[in-house]
Amino acid sequence: MSTSHQIPVITETNFKDLNLVNRGKVRDIYDFGDSLLIVATDRLSAYDVVMNEGIPLKGKVLTQISEYWFEQTKDLIANHLRSTIIYDFPSACKPYWSDLDGRTMWVRKTKPLPVECVVRGYLAGSGWSEYQKSRSVCGIPLPEGLVESSRLSEPIFTPATKEEKGKHDENISFERMVNIVGKEIAEKVRDLTIALYLRGASIAEKKGIIIADTKMEFGIDANGELILIDELLTPDSSRFWPMDTYAAGKGQESFDKQYVRDYLVSINFNKRPPAPKLPEDVILKTSGLYVEALKRLTGRSLI
């Protein structure tokens, strides 16, 4: 743990009495048998490389935005969240309350589907790169004449494989997803992903944020029920653009880690470990963007 301007930054947790089972790009996961504790650290990964420096308040923003969206969408599909309130957590967590507070979800355990469910409402990132070559994204043909950041006439579902830390997720066709998870589940999560995106995008637009694209994860719980898991519509899993500066035909300003990506491009980072050192102004600007996204969406302020 380190501090930046008096705000604690947590880049790794090691709760010795708890059962750490996975350390992802951002989250540390502890196993309690039928439930998990998902701790969102302040780690940041860009181009699938985890940066050495943490982003102040980032983990708290991710947890609280996910909590907000789980509440907004629970009529569409059940989700894994039990509680974000530390007093509800298993008693073994008590010694670690100060580190857990505000950045932790206590959730139902599921068997995650081995695919990322990606939905795109705008043409950006790898979708824009692919469109320029083939006029399609993940095998879905798109009209001629679109430009970078164009709004699509309707959102498209473009699944991806789920790779381990350090490897790039691979865009796949819907047909390949069917081969991986089966036709019934593939069709169900496709329809749910688009419905969840449309719900979130509509709410966010009223608050001045465009959700250009996002990825979601689903799992099968102990009762065999398909539920929504992981994070939801956060600046880590989505592109958030301010509506008031949006203009098609170029890259957009954003409330996510694009600011870090742009810095890495400016120094010709080769997108492989080891990560370069991030300047303090990039760290603090990125933190401010995350905090602003939370404030716009939920009205909550962390500063």
DSSP secondary structure, 143-177, as one string: -TT--TTPEEEEEEE--EE-PPTTS---B--HHHH
More confident call, 79 vs 162: 79
Please state the rounded mean pLDDT for residues 239-255. Answer: 95
Residues with Cβ within 8 Å of residue 61, at least 6 apart in sequence: 234, 235, 290, 291, 293, 294, 302
- The pair phi, psi for residue 151, each rounded to 5°, is -80, 130
Sign, Cα dihedral of 36, 41, 44, 49: negative
pLDDT value at residue 267: 97
CATH topology of domain 2-109+289-298: Phosphorylase Kinase; domain 1 (3.30.200)
Contact 119, 162 (CB under 8 A): no
The class level of CATH for 112-245 reads alpha beta
Residue 239 in tokens: 């592109």
Scanning the structure block, which residue is given the tokens 């993940």? Answer: 138
Local confidence band at 197 (pLDDT 50, 70, 90 cut-offs): very high
- pLDDT, position 4: 44
Q: Is residue 163 over pLDDT 90?
A: no
DSSP collapsed to 3 states, 93-146 = HHHHHHHHCCCEEEEECCEECCEEEEEEEECCHHHHHHHHHHCEECCEECCCCC
From 73, 130, 131, 125, select the one nearest 256 (Cα to Cα): 125
Q: How far apart are CA 302 and CA 295, in angstroms?
A: 8
211 SS3 class: strand
Q: What is the mean pLDDT of residues 209-215?
A: 97
Domain ranges of the chain: 2-109+289-298, 112-245
Q: Is the pLDDT of residue 2 over 70?
A: no
